Chain A
Amino acid sequence: MTAPATQGPTVVTEGLRKVFGSLVAVERLDLTINRGEVFGLLGPNGSGKTTTIRMLCGLMAPTEGRATVVGFDVEREAERVRTRIGYMSQRYGLYDDLTAYENMRFYATVYGLHGRARDERLEQHIAEMGLGERRNQLAGTLSGGWKQRLALGCATAHEPEMLFLDEPTAGVDPAARRDFWASIYALAARGTTILVTTHYMDEAERCQRLAFLSRGKLIGLGTVDEITTQFGQPTIEDVFIALQRKDEGAHA
């Protein structure tokens, strides 16, 4: 693993804001995510989770405010950020007509790995990810769980310092989800910082810290216990449902 660019937090956002026309997607977000943390971004649909991730990955320019990822400004130093992060989207971003191995080789090369070093790294990575038995299968013919595992493999072969996961387990069976989380913890244990958005409450409870977004606003931040206490609800799921009701009530 390459040395981290800075000793400080991996993600810092200051007054991050995104506006689409008259719609405020993200309203002045201040977040700090520490190195090696598994950080969950929660909220109902349309709460600004994906927009936040997209701004942090450099897919979208913020309207206002600033953000640094692995010590670099996401707008002014986008190139430096890109080599040091991994991103796995809801749609996985795999090439269906390439085999599992070819997909990983392609992304590893695009991330700057070459020759023997790349091939050796890929062998090691495939073994770690348990992708060996499917390495020569076309990605398009893999089941949902395998696709998800491959997408994670493609996003992490270059050993990123920071990993963004946008609803990574949507539509995947419980066993595959459990394996996936085991991989996430293994990555975090080696110092990778992870930001994950999710709809699943059991997954939210696996995160070390959570941020609750509602209609673009940060309304809760802390550990699972801190948040349940803050909202006076027994579980994260109850907090979520209470928030959603409040949202719907505000819309009506």
Chain B
Amino acid sequence: MSDTPRFVDRLRYSRFWPMLWKEFIQIRRDRLTLGMILVLPAAQLLLFGYAIQTDVRHLPTVVLDESRTSESRALVTTLMNSGVFDPAGEVADRATARRALDAGTANAALVIPPEYGREVAAGRTATVQMLVDAADPQTAGAAISGAQLGAQARATQIIAERVSLANPLDMRVRPLYNPAQRSAVFIVPGVIGVLLTITLTLITATAIVRERERGTLEQLIVTPIGKTSLMLGKLVPFVIVGYVQMTVVLTMGWVFFRVPIVGSLPLLYLLTIPFIIASLGVGLLISTVARSQAQAMQLSFFFMLPNILLSGYLFPRMSMPLPAQFVGLALPLTYYLKILRGLMLKGTGFADLWRPTGSLVVLAVLLFTISVRRFHKTIE
């Protein structure tokens, strides 16, 4: 007799299957888990895709034009055309402008003094003022750079008109990969990474801790199931769930936000494997430390926080202080985000992704080995 039928039989009668079957029934019946699996991808995507706009535009701006000349009107037009500022009406005096900022009806106030037109006409340096609500640094940054760029643009026009010479320097910036600079394009790949982290750490950890809490883990250890079948039966369902979530987000990202997948889709699914293993490692590790489902939940959130803040999901890692960057290096999501964004937005091939992939594989092997050891110890 050959070995093949024996292997098929062993696979067919493996005690892994009843675990898988049971786990899927439990996922289907547990409203909280089911909600997290089904609603979370959609909610995260729409929330981060639509609500979180890291590009600040359309700041309501009041204008106090005391010059009332064609020159001053040209300046206002140049600034408003940048898209950073939106006209929020004219005001008659500085006090009114200040009140609009205080009340929050305007984020910026443009003040053009009476002598502006005369100074420009006389070829002297004219002064204008922009008052900015800098309570929110991100808004302030956008307003400040918008004001400076707008003023420079207008200044160049004025010089060109005066000396009727061609512009000596023309800097043409071409935004690549996300030409319209939409946040959704940046965020959607990240949503996949964050969702997988939640499913594979939080949901997996609580599912394992629940077995311990309810006494079913002890019951299982007395059965002939074996450690490997027990562990795989517990982990594999969430890997399947993770891949389904990923596919849903990819599809929704394309349908709702036109987020492209420039690179190879099979490669994306393939390079997700080390990330899945690393995240399962964290989930398993949490399950060996937590004594209750509530603790597992808390520990998972504690792990989620640096993932969201330090991995580069929302904020660029380059602008973080060094210690924060080092913490980010220990998070699987940091590397996975590079793979996701590279593949989806730039069409990067494996040749340029081996660095983050390599780091991810190292993290995966490390985390999974440690946690499997710990897990086996706890069930002995």
Contacts and interface: CB of A to CB of B under 8 A. Distances in A.
Interface of A: 57-59, 61, 79, 82-83, 85, 87, 89-98, 102, 105-107, 109-112, 114, 138
Contacts of A85: 222
A94 B216 contact: yes
Interface stretch (B25-33, B71-79, B315-323): B25-33
A87 B22 contact: no
Contact of A89 (B22, B26, B219, B223): B219
B214 A96 contact: yes
A83 B226 CA distance: 11
B82 to A, nearest CB: 57
A150 to B, nearest CB: 12
Interface residues of B, number: 24
Nearest to A85: B222
Interface string B219-252: 1111111100000000000000000000000000
B218 A89 contact: yes
A112 B22 contact: no
Closest 5 CB pairs of A and B: A93-B219, A91-B215, A109-B18, A82-B224, A87-B222
17 contacts: A57-B222, A58-B221, A82-B224, A94-B214, A97-B26, A97-B29, A97-B30, A98-B29, A102-B22, A106-B21, A109-B15, A109-B18, A110-B15, A110-B223, A110-B224, A111-B223, A114-B13
A6 to B, nearest CB: 19
Interface string B197-226: 000000000000000001110111111111
A interface SS class:
loop
Given A97-B26, A98-B22, A98-B25, A110 B214 contact: no
Given A106-B21, A109-B17, A95 B216 contact: yes
Contacts of A110: 15, 18-19, 220, 223-225
Given A91-B214, A95-B26, A112 B222 contact: no
Contacts of A94: 214, 216
B336 to A, nearest CB: 32
Interface string B140-172: 000000000000000000000000000000000
Contacts of A91: 214-215, 218
A109 to B, nearest CB: 4
Interface in B274-320: none
Contacts of A58: 221-222
Given A95-B216, A109-B18, 15 more contacts: A59-B221, A61-B380, A82-B223, A82-B224, A89-B215, A93-B216, A93-B219, A93-B220, A106-B21, A106-B22, A109-B15, A110-B19, A110-B220, A112-B13, A138-B29
